[in-house]
Amino acid sequence: MRVVQKFGGSSVADAESIKRVAGRIVATRSAGNEVVVVISAMGDTTDELLDLAQQVSPNPRPRELDMLLTAGERMSAALLAMAINDLGADARSFTGSQAGVITTGTHGDARIIDITPGRIVSALSEGDIVIVAGFQGVSQTTKDVTTLGRGASDTTAVALAAALDAAYCEIYSDVDGVFTADPRIVPGARRIPEIGYEDMLELAANGAKILHLRCVEYARRENVPVHVRSSFSDRPGTWVKDMNEEDGMEQPLITGIAHDRSEAKITIVGVPDRVGEAADIFTAVADADINIDMIVQNVSSGDAHATDISFTLAQSDGAKAIAALEAVKARIGFTDVVYNDQVGKVSVVGVGMRSHPGVTARFFRALAEAGINIGMISTSEIRISVVVDIAEVDAAVRAGHTAFGLDAEGEAVVYAGTGR
């Protein structure tokens, strides 16, 4: 069988762990498989390189930043190949560019356009284990080295699995799989043995850090089964895969609960109640290249002929958004812009809610009984999200987890690091 295995930074944090991972890879090869490994940078290397760049230059050019960051994955790839060779197996490391990962030219956030894995295929046919530096590629137009966004080694792995027609893609991290909630918050969170692409997409899009969002999108589009598991144990993890109707029937009402502390809320106070005002406001936000998440509009606290509009966005875009809104304040004629980053989003997710009424009521009742006030609400067909005070995020996750009967007896195992 042909398999792709991806190991995250916490699985290769030092020389000892690199040797341990090497042993695991050789075992897969010895079992008769063709093995392609995608590797992240060691431990916190990427963050350290970013710090270093900051010390040298406050505003480095994105091209040079990508040259720098791709070195992290290149280091771990070469070291891993050496460790495997010392175990008596043959391994060869490749940069993303050598592996044929062709991308757009957007430094720091490039998209994979195509994979031309000629060199990988010939190395495999010569019996080698192939190690590919994750999270990077080469721009189709400029031929410069690019990176695919933080955490994107997952995406490299799934994209390679699709291009190489691998049987499946294993993503190794420091937790046992995808859990019904973050085990650091909910001790009784359970490992989900199998989850459909749709549920996984919603969880990843709403703060579950176990898998990179774009990797799940890719897996769904190319129908690549993904096995998320721990490199620190041999236990089975979570299979992310296409769930057919029959599997769907066995699905619980709620699959899992995600939370996100990285958003902020902006309230625009006293917007004149006229046609086109919302369009003008969000045009200003869009022109500043800012993605928004939830939006709520209601009658202004101060003036019956005005509305308040609140929306959420990434905290990292906060300053930019405020500047953009202040710039149009006089023209549009609203009174104030209020910024609050002391918020968090909690989302219950499950394809099971499609066919069951009462999920929203049950979630909100649980929050009420825990004394938690809801700031904003948004829903999709398979998700209910609320914005709450940041201090109440943990309690809201626990309340939802209990309310939907997800609590288990035993405690989840968390080995190390960040859950990546």
Residues that bind Mg ion (CB under 5 A): 9, 40
- State the nearest-atom distance from the C-beta of 9 to Mg ion, in Å: 4
Q: Which does 63 bind (CB under 5 to 8 A by kind): ligand ASP, Mg ion, none?
A: none
- State the nearest-atom distance from the C-beta of 125 to Mg ion, in Å: 31
- State the nearest-atom distance from the C-beta of 262 to ligand ASP, in Å: 15
- Asked whether position 225 contacts ligand ASP by CB under 6 A, the answer is no
Question: Measured between alpha carbons, how far is 328 from 338 in angstroms, rounded to an integer?
Answer: 15
- Asked whether position 137 contacts ligand ASP by CB under 6 A, the answer is no
Q: Which does 404 bind (CB under 5 to 8 A by kind): ligand ASP, Mg ion, none?
A: none
Residue from 19, 111, 119, 150 touching ligand ASP (CB under 6 A): that is: 150
- State the nearest-atom distance from the C-beta of 147 to ligand ASP, in Å: 8
Q: Which does 150 bind (CB under 5 to 8 A by kind): ligand ASP, Mg ion, none?
A: ligand ASP
Residue from 43, 117, 151, 352 touching ligand ASP (CB under 6 A): that is: 151
Q: Which does 72 bind (CB under 5 to 8 A by kind): Mg ion, ligand ASP, none?
A: ligand ASP
- State the nearest-atom distance from the C-beta of 328 to Mg ion, in Å: 38
| Span from 87-95, 151-159, 179-187, 292-300 in contact with ligand ASP (CB under 6 A) | 151-159
Q: Which does 375 bind (CB under 5 to 8 A by kind): Mg ion, ligand ASP, none?
A: none
- Asked whether position 135 contacts ligand ASP by CB under 6 A, the answer is yes
- State the nearest-atom distance from the C-beta of 9 to ligand ASP, in Å: 5
- State the nearest-atom distance from the C-beta of 45 to ligand ASP, in Å: 7
Q: Which does 173 bind (CB under 5 to 8 A by kind): Mg ion, ligand ASP, none?
A: none
x/- site string to ligand ASP, residues 15 to 54, per CB under 6 A? -------------------------xx----x--------
Total of chain residues touching ligand ASP, rule CB under 6 A:
12
- Asked whether position 152 contacts ligand ASP by CB under 6 A, the answer is yes
> What residues numbered 56-115 form the site for ligand ASP, per CB under 6 A?
72
Q: For ligand ASP, give the closer residue by CB, 41 or 294.
A: 41
SS3 labels along the chain:
CEEEEEECHHHHCCHHHHHHHHHHHHHHHHCCCEEEEEECCCCCHHHHHHHHHHHHCCCCCHHHHHHHHHHHHHHHHHHHHHHHHHCCCCEEEECCCCCCEEECCCCCCCCEEEECCHHHHHHHHCCCEEEEECCEEEECCCCCEEECCCCCHHHHHHHHHHHCCCCEEEEEECECCCECCCCCCCCCCCECCEEEHHHHHHHHHCCCCCCCHHHHHHHHHHCCCEEEEECCCCCCCEEEECCCHHHHHHCCCCCEEEEECCEEEEEEEEEECCCCHHHHHHHHHHHCCCCEEEEEEEECCCCCCEEEEEEEEEHHHHHHHHHHHHHHHHHHCCCEEEEECCEEEEEEECHHHHHCCCHHHHHHHHHHHCCCCCCEEEEECCEEEEEEEHHHHHHHHHHHHHHCCCCCCCCCCECCCCCC
- State the nearest-atom distance from the C-beta of 154 to ligand ASP, in Å: 6
- Asked whether position 318 contacts ligand ASP by CB under 6 A, the answer is no
| Span from 49-57, 147-155, 220-228, 378-386 in contact with ligand ASP (CB under 6 A) | 147-155
Among candidates 130, 170, 153, which has minimal Cα distance to 40?
153
Q: Which does 134 bind (CB under 5 to 8 A by kind): Mg ion, ligand ASP, none?
A: ligand ASP
Q: For ligand ASP, give the closer residue by CB, 153 or 310.
A: 153
Instruction: List interacting residues with ligand ASP (CB under 6 A).
Output: 8-9, 40-41, 46, 72, 134-135, 150-153
